[in-house]
Amino acid sequence: MTDPSTSSGTGTATVTIAIDGPAGSGKSSVSKEAARRLGFGYLDTGAAYRALAWHVLDLGAETSDESAVQDAAERFPYAISLDPDRYWVRVGDRDVTEAIRDPRVTAAVSGVARIPAVRTRVNALFRALVRDSGRPGVVVEGRDITTVVAPDAPVRILLTADPDVRAARRSAELQGEDAGAVATALHRRDAADSKVVDFLTAAPGVSVVDSTDLDFAQTVAAVLDVVAAGTQTHTQEMHDGR
């Protein structure tokens, strides 16, 4: 199997920047801006699980039904844009970019993501999207990118923040919703997802960027600093034949 962290279907090396982190850490907005600055593609892996949850619900099934989820995953006509400035998500011919952010879908995502066979299938999809992107690099963000999807990526980052800060940020994003309910939902999702993958602790070799006391611009700068150092080291190692 070709190493997905450094290859593409065009024959041109594709650099993977792997970013993990919990909800509200800023990983989506920061990853997207970092991709813009670098001239890279941007892959929101969480969108695939959301889209699959939406797909299961649209079929009239429940994400608590493991068999139904696996059946839906086998017939999952998923597509996503890697352009950070023209982001969209589709299931078949339906644009679900906004629909997958619906609270009903959010509440159902963990039921999809907890199934090992589904994660294996979706992770293979992520690797294929990077491999065939034709871009110089792709910033890939999610929950287990640094450890499972692209463990050999030249740059691996855990973007985190204090739980209360994360809850406040998520509440600000979801204007009109009760702040307490948003915080409860965030902590519940973290707890559920952490049973499947550890996205709160940095694996060996993963750089930690704590955005608790950083604003958006400072967080982006901190991530780009890690990227610059990591890609320089990777380039030198390739030059040295390691």
DSSP the chain: ---TTS--TTSS--EEEEEE--TTSSHHHHHHHHHHHHT-EEEETHHHHHHHHHHHHHTT--TT-HHHHHHHHHT--EEE---TTS--EEETTEE-TTGGGSHHHHHHHHHHHT-HHHHHHHHHHHHHHHHTS-SSEEEEEESSIIIII-TT-SEEEEEE--HHHHHHHHHHHSTTS-HHHHHHHHHHHHHHHTTT---SSPPTTPEEEE-TT--HHHHHHHHHHHHHHHHHHHHHHHHHT-
Q: Quick one: pLDDT at residue 124?
A: 94
User: What pLDDT, on a 0 to 100 scale, did the predictor assign at position 25?
Assistant: 86
- 142 falls within a domain: yes
CATH number, domain of 222, equals 3.40.50.300
The answer to whether residue 7 is domain-embedded is no
At residue 81, does pLDDT exceed 50? yes
Least confident range from 13-22, 135-144, 225-234: namely 225-234
Is 194 domain-assigned? yes
pLDDT band at 176 (very low <50, low <70, confident <90, very high): low
Six-digit token string for 43: 């892959």
pTM, 2 dp: 0.84
Strand partners, 155: 17
Across the chain, which distance is largest between two alpha carbons, in Å? 55
Per the annotation, where are the binding residues for ATP? 21-29
Query: Is the pLDDT assigned to residue 30 strictly greater than 70?
Result: yes
- Determine, yes or no, domain membership for 120: yes
Instruction: Write down the pLDDT at residue 22.
Output: 86
The highest-confidence range among 7-11, 12-16, 217-221, by mean pLDDT, is 217-221
Instruction: Give the residue numbers spanning the domain of 168.
Output: 15-240
**4 inside domain:** no
Percent of the chain with pLDDT strictly greater than 90: 65
Residue 74, amino acid: E
| Residues of the binding site | 21-29
pLDDT mean across residues, the chain: 86
Residue 77 lies in a domain: yes
Q: Is residue 6 part of a domain?
A: no
- What are 44's two structure tokens? 């929101």
The model's confidence at residue 110, banded by pLDDT at 50, 70 and 90, is confident
Whether residue 7 has pLDDT greater than 60: no
The mean pLDDT of 26-51, rounded to a whole number, is 96
Other Cβ atoms less than 10 A from the Cβ of 75: the count is 9
Total domains in the fold of the chain: 1
75 inside domain: yes
Geometric angle at alpha carbon 149, from 48 and 184, rounded to 5°: 55
Q: What pLDDT, on a 0 to 100 scale, did the predictor assign at position 47?
A: 96
The yes-or-no verdict on residue 84 having pLDDT over 60 is yes
Mean pLDDT of 214-221: 95
